[in-house]
């Protein structure tokens, strides 16, 4: 794995395969904030071959659906930011807020890993 992102915290891993992984964010802005990371070093989303892009987005959908079910929220924001020049998505559950208000939250180090197994239990993978 040659991702430029910090390694996931022990106990935070939701999904892992040869191409990508999903884990609870090390510094979440809300409960359930998840990061989905492409393992191979790729500077920008548009540089992924179509097949890899489609695979990535299928996994984003699967993890989002698991978050919706686990957290019983109506919306999970999909946020692509590439400030570190590495393909990754932030999946941020929306509770009682809208729009950019969610970014007013101060991130804090993840210490509660109880959601990990619950999200895994609701993860339905496409074949």
**Residue range 20-44, pLDDT digits in tens:** 999 999 999 999 999 999 999 999 9
pLDDT attached to residue 5: 67
Query: Which CATH number goes with the domain that contains 90?
Result: 3.30.428.10
Of 27, 35, 48, 30, the residue nearest 108 (C-alpha): 27
Q: Is the CB of residue 48 less than 8 Å from the CB of residue 38? A: yes
Q: Is the CB of residue 51 less than 8 Å from the CB of residue 103? A: no
Residue 61 domain flag: yes
Of residues 3 and 96, more confidently modeled: 96
What residue numbers bound the domain in which 43 lies? Answer: 13-121
pLDDT attached to residue 123: 94
Residues β-bridged to residue 84: none
Report residue 88: phi and psi, to 5°: -165, 155
Residue 7 domain flag: no
What is this structure's pTM? Answer: 0.90
Alpha helices in 1-127 (DSSP H): 50-71, 115-121
Q: What is the total count of domains within the chain?
A: 1
Residue 41 domain flag: yes
The stretch 65-86 carries a mean pLDDT of: 92
pLDDT attached to residue 51: 97
């Amino acid at each position: 794995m040659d991702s430029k992102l910090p390694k996931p915290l022990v106990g935070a891993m939701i999904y892992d395969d040869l191409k990508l992984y999903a884990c609870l964010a090390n510094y979440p802005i809300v409960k359930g904030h998840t990061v989905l990371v492409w393992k191979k070093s790729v500077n920008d989303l548009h540089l992924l071959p179509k097949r890899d892009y489609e695979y990535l987005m299928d996994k984003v959908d699967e993890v989002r659906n698991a978050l919706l079910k686990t957290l019983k929220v109506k919306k999970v924001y999909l946020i692509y930011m590439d400030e570190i020049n590495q393909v990754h998505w932030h999946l941020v559950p929306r509770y009682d807020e809208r729009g950019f208000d969610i970014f007013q939250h101060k991130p804090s180090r993840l210490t509660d890993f109880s959601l990990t197994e619950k999200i895994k239990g609701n993860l339905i993978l496409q074949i």
